[in-house]
Amino acid sequence: MKPILFNLTDGELEQFIVELGQPKFRAKQIREWLNRGAPDFLSMKNIPETLRTQLQETAQTLPVRIIKKLESSDGETTKFLLELDDGEQIESVLMRTTYGNSVCVSSQAGCAMGCKFCASTLLGLKRNLSANEIYSQILVAQWELRSDKFKDRPIKPNGDANNGDVSHIVVMGTGEPLQNTENVIGFIERANSDMGIGWRRITVSTCGIVPGIDRLIEWGRPINLAISLHAPTDELRCQIMPINNRYKLAEVLDAAWRFTDLHNRQLMIEYILLGKKDENGETILYNATPDHAEKLSELLRGKNCMVNLIPWNAVDERDFASLSGNAVHRFQDILIKNGVHTRIRRERGTDIGSACGQLRLNNAKK
């Protein structure tokens, strides 16, 4: 396997370069390119061409390599299928929004959690990602944002996000971040210190691993926490999220409120709205009946939280159905009537397979 220069310490990189018969200062130049996310050595313009070619043949820049890049028709969403050094594949998504540039990163190759509506878990868990492998997903997005392609269409963020740079991170791609907690923490610390991304612009989403939430509390950084809830009762949640057999709703929410109370943050609640086909082929509500909306309201009423309602993106292998916009709005109306803050997540990049894990799964089928 080719050495991955991004993974080397400064001293190791210097030694590597000196052993190639090059002056030490080249190591510093190469490090700058690596920290900008250079996908290959040929793009390192201030390095002599002979060295660039030599490095291209003998080494690798980042621990991830783009094997597919899909852009939505509106140009606002770019999805990357990335390959790791051992051939495993992961996905990350760059979303250009009015508030900044957000990157959704994967924390594991595959997922062991087995949620019944999700494509990411269909092939099981392959392995945890290292902090560098997670961080490199941000670098890939940053390189893309600084490419010529975006020069003529800058966005105007409302806040103080740097125009053109990654400003927000959500750890919500493939994998359960709190099954890989220490590497996720290492990644976030680095994104904050090296890229200047504020704690409050970083969100970790969990299906409800209580010891992991406790670890985030102990860690003490005021990031955002999102809970993938998807059902308002233990009975229903156990049917679609096996983790609920281990950590019940009340226990998960208790840990989440402890986290948000500590940091005075709003808890994000993720709720995918699912339908099912009945024997006549008609779509019926699965976790989205008025009764479910009332029960969800009971859990959340008076709490500092925001419910993100997510229309389900169809996954062929999964036995659910997408709901109409009306059904989604009826569910939302009940939450609003009960005083629960809620919004419907805008569907992004549906034309490029935006359901988590879909691109990786489709590629594995080939």
Q: What gap in Å lies between CA 255 and CA 324, rounded to an integer? A: 33
82: helix, strand or coil: strand
The conformational region for residue 231 under phi > 0 = left, psi -120 to 50 = alpha, else beta, is beta
DSSP E strands in 141-292: the ranges are 166-171, 202-206, 224-228, 267-273, 275-277, 283-285
Question: Nearest distance from residue 121's CB to ligand SF4, in Å?
Answer: 4
- Which of the ranges 28-36, 170-178, 188-196, 323-331 carries the binding residues for ligand SF4, by CB under 6 A? 170-178
- Interaction with ligand SF4 in 213-232: which residues (CB under 6 A)? 228
Segment near ligand SF4 (CB under 6 A), from 135-143, 152-160, 174-182, 258-266?
A: 174-182
Question: By CB under 6 A, is residue 181 in contact with ligand SF4?
Answer: no
- 123: helix, strand or coil: coil
Q: What is the amino acid identity at position 127?
A: R
The reply on whether position 174 binds ligand SF4 by CB under 6 A is yes
CB of 207 to ligand SF4, least distance (A): 4
Residue 209 binds ligand SF4, judged by CB under 6 A = no
Active-site residue (options: 111, 207, 305, 356): 356
Catalytic residue among 91, 133, 144, 270: 91
Q: CB nearer to ligand SF4: give 82 or 111.
A: 111
Residue found by looking up tokens 């992004």 in the block:
348
- Rounded to whole angstroms, the maximal C-alpha distance in the chain is 73
Cβ proximity to ligand SF4: between 121 and 136 the closer is: 121
What is the spatial distance between Cα 305 and Cα 300, in angstroms, rounded to a whole number? 7
Q: Smallest distance from the beta carbon of 241 to ligand SF4, in angstroms?
A: 7
Distances (CA, A) of 41 to 10, 30, 36, 38, 64: 17, 9, 12, 7, 14
Please indicate whether residue 111 is annotated as part of the active site. Answer: no
Residue 176 binding ligand SF4, by CB under 6 A: yes
**CA nearest 4: which of 32, 36, 44, 41?**
41
Tell me the per-residue interface mask from 98 to 137 with ligand SF4, x by CB under 6 A, - otherwise.
Answer: -------------x-xxx--x-xx----------------
Interface mask (CB under 6 A) for ligand SF4, residues 334-363, using x and -?
A: ----------------------x-------
Is 57 labeled as catalytic in the residue annotation? Answer: no
Instruction: Quote the CA–CA distance of 185 and 223 in Å, as a whole number.
Output: 11
Q: Alpha-carbon distance 194 to 239, whole Å?
A: 42
Number of residues forming the site for ligand SF4 (CB under 6 A): 13
CB of 153 to ligand SF4, least distance (A): 31
- Rule CB under 6 A: say whether 207 interacts with ligand SF4: yes
Look at residues 239, 116, 126, 100 and name the one whose alpha carbon lies nearest to residue 179: 126
Q: Which positions touch ligand SF4 (CB under 6 A)?
A: 111, 113-115, 118, 120-121, 174-176, 207, 228, 356
Annotated catalytic residues are 91, 356
